[in-house]
């Protein structure tokens, strides 16, 4: 048991709760099968524009009427979210974005956050 390491420290847990409670986003349609959302976080922003900390692109692959699979890409623009020490925070925020924007659909997720980039599959 001494080899188990707590990834989300109490400080990061508190920070994640603060960021998620202040999380907002705006939607822009890209096409009939894709959406783009700008993500705003209280503690992070795009360093060039001072705006959204990142964006979520949701692309719907429709195969007939019964099979739907969603490709979701999250791109974080704030370099602070690319630092390895905040990887659990990036994971928590990304998880919340998928829950809010995609819900319970089958999803391929790709997160772009420098050293904190990862891919995941959600199958419900």
Domain boundaries, the chain: 10-122
14-28 b/e with 16+ CB inside 10 Å = b?
A: ebbeebbeebebeee
The predicted structure's pLDDT at residue 73: 97
- Sign of the torsion formed by the C-alpha atoms of 15, 21, 27 and 31: positive
The predicted structure's pLDDT at residue 68: 65
The predicted structure's pLDDT at residue 20: 96
Give CA separation, 41 vs 4, 26, 121, in Å: 30, 12, 24
**pLDDT at residue 22 above 80?**
yes
DSSP state of 78: -
**pLDDT at residue 105 above 60?**
yes
* HSE toward the beta carbon, residue 106, CA cutoff 13 A: 8
User: What phi and psi values does residue 102 have, to the nearest 5 degrees?
Assistant: -110, -35
Give mean pLDDT, residues 7-32.
89
The predicted structure's pLDDT at residue 1: 46
**pLDDT at residue 62 above 90?**
no
The predicted structure's pLDDT at residue 123: 84
Higher confidence at residue 32 or residue 83?
A: 83
């Amino acid at each position: 048991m001494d080899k188990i390491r707590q990834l989300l420290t109490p400080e990061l847990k508190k920070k994640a709760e603060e960021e998620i409670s202040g999380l907002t986003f705006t939607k822009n349609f890209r096409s009939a099968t894709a959406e783009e959302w700008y993500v705003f976080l209280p503690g992070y922003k795009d360093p060039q524009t001072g705006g959204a900390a990142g964006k979520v692109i949701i692309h719907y692959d429709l195969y007939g009427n019964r099979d739907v699979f969603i490709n979701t890409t999250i791109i974080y623009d704030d370099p602070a979210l690319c630092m390895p020490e905040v990887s659990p925070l990036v994971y928590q925020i990304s998880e919340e974005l998928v829950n809010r924007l995609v819900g319970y659909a089958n999803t391929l997720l790709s997160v772009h956050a420098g050293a904190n980039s990862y891919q995941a599959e959600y199958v419900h």
